[in-house]
Amino acid sequence: MIKVITYGTFDLFHQGHYNILKRAKEQGDYLIVGVTGEIYDLERGKLNVQDSLLTRIENVRKTGLADKIIVEEYMGQKISDVVKYDIDKLVIGSDWYGKFDYLNRYCEVVYLERTKNISSTQLREKQKIYNIGIVSDTMEDGEIVLESKYVSGIHVESVFMEDAGQAAEYENKYELAFSTNQMDEFLKDLDIVYVRTKLEQRFGYCQKALSEGKHVICENPCSLDSEQLKVLLNLAEEKKVLFIDNVILAYLRALAQLTWMLNRELIGQLIKIRCCIQVENSNEFGMVDRLTDSILVFQRILGSDYKEITMNPVYDQNHELIYNQIIFHYDNRMGCIEIGCTPGMKNQLEILGTRGRVDLPDEWWNMGYFEASEGAGSKLKRYSFNFEGNGMRYLLHEMLLMIKEGSEVSKKMQPEESLRIVEIQQHILKELQKEKMHFRKEKQSVDEKKEG
Ligand code: CTP
């Protein structure tokens, strides 16, 4: 029996795909088709894939030509597939000419002429483009414009700013199609609204966009009042649109993988997670604003059943908050956040277990790299992940897949999770405000005594 294997993404399945499968099948008696996995595509920077893996597999299956379908998950898998399945021929389109000659040592490599005038790329260009509009109050947040260029099917169209002059300046700077300070005009032709204003205004803009039936991405936190967040989540559900919290970390495979590894006792029983963050703005809001990633890590890795949260804030001579240590007390383990604006603060995340530790240096919330060590003298294991740009492309890509599949809830970050995080932030903010009042009163009475 002659066994043949072929590979592809098979996005927006077309005649060219059918033809190559048919001709590959004719090359032997048994055909295996490798379909590229979503993670593999993301890692090699192919963020333009429109169909989910399930759809792409289903389309290949429907041809009736494949005897077996496998998922191609990593670079270098082809060699092991060829050996594992005892393959006689690898068949691939002529666009790959010469690229797979290295496999000649294991099997025959056959390049077949591509079908002319059709490709997934061409079809993608004809697909519906989802228009994004930005609601902003500063000139400095054009990153989404750049990030959206890596996700096909999405286009940043316009900007809304309260000041029409500023809006026009923004439009020019980022080469958008139009700008306005009129909300109704702005919303008219949009599919997705990205709200990126000061915290106080986020809720109002999100509410307006959701009630007009637009999908919304909101800068995190969208509000520090959990009741407001509930209103938005309910509104999104009622209007059957997506409401996405811009928490990039939740969309990174690295976090899912780290959580999985720790659950499987990579470093034994967990003792402590310590997240350190340096902030520019050390007031209470500025600090609480930056806690989302740490709380998300605790929720995912340690769980949501903490017993208590305690804090040790430190103030400077002007009674301004400069550092805080926030401890989440769990049964027999803890999460600790150290956050401050002093130059000595370092961004890092460390996880301590009974058998070793995991370290994520620098901007750990990007999770590009981590290392695990199992006690003194043992070998260090290093894990690195692809992280491009500011990461928003991963969120946009996921959002687009969800919109297309008619899902109203993000699979990567559930509404309950967003809500729990905001409830915790709200609690911490209240406690900090109380502490500050207390600190000021104490200081005042000490000063009065001194003067007296
Ligand atoms: N293929 C083909 N003829 C075409 C398009 C694709 O023979 N007109 C073959 C490719 O050479 C490959 C397989 O189909 O062996 C899967 O290709 P894939 O990359 O999934 O499809 P493309 O249409 O080339 O996708 P893209 O435009 O994203 O590169």
375 versus 234: the higher-pLDDT residue is 234
Per-residue pLDDT, 48 = 82
pTM comes to 0.81
pLDDT tens digit string along 284-294?
888 898 999 99
Hey, is 371 helix, strand or coil? strand
- Closest ligand 1 atom, CA of 118? 8
Radius of gyration of the chain from Cα atoms? 26
Nearest CA to ligand 1 atom 9: 93
Q: Rounded mean pLDDT of 227-256?
A: 94
Q: Helix axis angle, 226-239 relative to 415-451, nearest 10°?
A: 160
Say if residues 219 and 137 touch (Cβ distance below 8 Å): no
Pocket test for ligand 1, best of 9, 32, 44, 91 (most atoms within 8 A of CB): 9
Alpha carbon distance 443, 59 (integer Å): 71
How far, in Å, is the centroid of ligand 1 from the Cα of 120?
7
**Whose C-alpha lies nearest to ligand 1, atom 2?**
114
Query: How close is the Cα of 306 to the center of ligand 1, in Å?
Result: 51
Among protein residues, the one with the nearest Cα to ligand 1's atom 25 is 120
Share of the chain above pLDDT 90, in %: 72
Residue 73: the pLDDT is 92
Q: Which atom of ligand 1 is nearest to the CA of 112?
A: 7
* Helix axes of 15-26 and 53-62: crossing angle, nearest 10 degrees: 60
Q: Are 375 and 355 in contact (CB under 8 A)?
A: yes
Alpha carbon distance 354, 333 (integer Å):
11
Confidence at residue 285, expressed as pLDDT on a 0 to 100 scale: 85
CA of 50 to the centre of ligand 1 (A): 14
Q: Which residues in 305-321 are b (16+ Cβ under 10 Å) and which e?
A: ebeebeeebebeeeeeb
Ligand 1, pocket-test mutation among 17, 35, 57, most atoms within 8 A of CB: 17
